[in-house]
Amino acid sequence: MSSATATVGRQVTLMRAFLRYGIEQQTAYRAAYWAHLWNTAVKVFAFVVVWRTLYAVAPDQFPVSRSQMVAYGVVAAITSEVLDWWKGPHYYIAYRVQLGTITGDLLRPISFPFQLFAIWTGESAAALLLVGVPAFGGAAVVLGGAVAPAGVLAGLLAVLSFVVSFAMLFCCSFLVGLVVLKTLNLLGVMHLYHGVLTLLSGFWIPLWFFPAPLRLLADVLPFRGIFFTPLSIYVGELTGTRLELALLHQVVWLGLLILAVRWAWAVMRRRLVVQGG
């Protein structure tokens, strides 16, 4: 019992260290921080302008009100900046492989997936506090109630859904990172992943507007659970049985992705080829 307790204690200590590292990565350069915040503000503004314009042209094509569509765009823009998904674990792995320093990560007394999860959690937590909260506050001041959730329950369930989507996104990105390890194709694999995620996650375009065959594909794959599900809950488009099924879709896919990460890393750990020094 004491040995198990000591092991857990060491894991917690290491987790805190990597969390601090992730936070330091987000706060190390003041100019980069202000650029990040400005980029988020510009993206929010662009989303608002685009969706307001499209809604004015064809309001009957939208399954939600204009304010709900604006809220969807604002929260999508902010969460994408907080998660920084295009420079997630897969980018870290690709960068370390390119430098030839990935062996240093593997020699640490903690599993590699756990390391990356802790670092990414720290970076995302810092981005949420330093970028997400100010950006959302500014949008709330300018747009008023248009950015509010559909209700208290919708807001709470959306937060829960985003927590699950965070873990799903990590698993997907980590698996892509392992493909980079296997193929040493740094940019090609990441560009393909970014394109698929951008299209099928509902980040840029909600799945409501997809043609039937593409919507069916998006509904089956896990990517809709990363942005579309929590955002649809937030604006109140998903309710009742549809909401329950959407959350179940997230949980099932998260379980499958965790199993995939464990299996893929067990295999890749024995076949690692390092490019570089």
Residue 84 zone, left/alpha/beta (φ > 0; ψ -120 to 50; rest): left
Interatomic CA distance for residues 25 and 205, integer angstroms? 31
- Give how many domains the chain has, as a whole number: 1
Does residue 148 sit within a domain? Answer: yes
Interatomic CA distance for residues 145 and 156, integer angstroms? 17
The residue among 258, 195, 205, 260 whose CA lies nearest residue 227 is 205
Question: At a CB cut-off of 8 Å and minimum separation 6, what does 147 contact?
Answer: 70, 71, 74, 75, 136, 139, 140
Does residue 274 sit within a domain? Answer: no
> Per the confidence metrics, is the pTM higher than 0.85?
yes
Interatomic CA distance for residues 50 and 57, integer angstroms? 11
Does residue 153 sit within a domain? Answer: yes
**Which pLDDT does position 36 carry in this prediction?**
85
Does residue 216 sit within a domain? Answer: yes
Token digits of residue 136: 């959302």
Per-residue pLDDT of 78-126, as tens digits, reads 999 888 787 888 888 888 877 777 778 877 777 889 888 988 888 888 8
Report residue 132: phi and psi, to 5°.
Answer: -60, -50
Q: Is residue 109 within a helix (H) or strand (E), and if so which, with residue range?
A: none
Cα dist. 188→169, 191, 192 in Å?
Answer: 19, 5, 6
- Residue 109 burial (10 A CB sphere; 0-12, 13-18, 19+): exposed
Q: Could you tell me the mean pLDDT of each successive run of 10 residues in the chain, 277 residues long?
A: 61 69 71 86 93 90 90 94 84 80 78 87 86 93 89 95 96 90 75 90 91 93 96 94 96 97 87 52
Does residue 275 sit within a domain? Answer: no
Interatomic CA distance for residues 9 and 2, integer angstroms? 10
Does residue 277 sit within a domain? Answer: no
Does residue 238 sit within a domain? Answer: yes
**Which pLDDT does position 126 carry in this prediction?**
83
Does residue 273 sit within a domain? Answer: no
Domain residues for the domain of 25 are 2-268
**Which pLDDT does position 73 carry in this prediction?**
94
**Which pLDDT does position 275 carry in this prediction?**
46
Neighbours of 44 (CB within 10 A): 25
